[in-house]
Amino acid sequence: MGKGAGEIAYSNGTNKNFWRDTYMKKLVICAVLALSLLGLSGSAFAGSIYKGSTGPFDDDWQLTEYGDGGQAIMQYGYSTWMINEDYTNAKHTTKYHTARVSNNAGEDIDSDSAGYWANAEVNHYTAIVIYEMTWPD
């Protein structure tokens, strides 16, 4: 039996394709690494409140959302005081937490310890705004 490109003949009479076997090993290693990284990133901040808004952005407004059995509080909205800004204020009574607000003009992120407010603000620029609060599981 002849050898094809990349095949290695072994003394027991079997042929192995070196390139295919190496490629498969690399593929399996990459898949395992990718899955483990996803697992790490998913466990870093397991709880979240996520809201998006398209307005209105004519007058001041604020909404409040709760999560984690009422221990997580996210206040978010639009303010015209001094400058037009989008904001997220977040507090978790028992866990470290992060507030985030973003739009086409930029993004602001602030974190704080349990029981304290984290405040993120960004100049209002566009009609699509993302407000988010995260905390570890």
pLDDT for 41 equals 41
Could you tell me the pTM of the whole model? 0.66
Q: How many contiguous H segments (helices) and E segments (strands) does the chain have?
A: 1, 10
Q: Which domains does the chain have, with CATH numbers?
A: 7-44 (no CATH), 47-135 (2.60.40.2850)
81 alpha carbon, distance to own chain's centre? 30
Which of 112, 111, 109, 132 has its CA nearest to residue 122? Answer: 109
- Model confidence pLDDT, tens digit, residues 74-131: 999 999 998 899 999 999 999 999 999 999 889 999 999 999 999 999 999 888 999 9
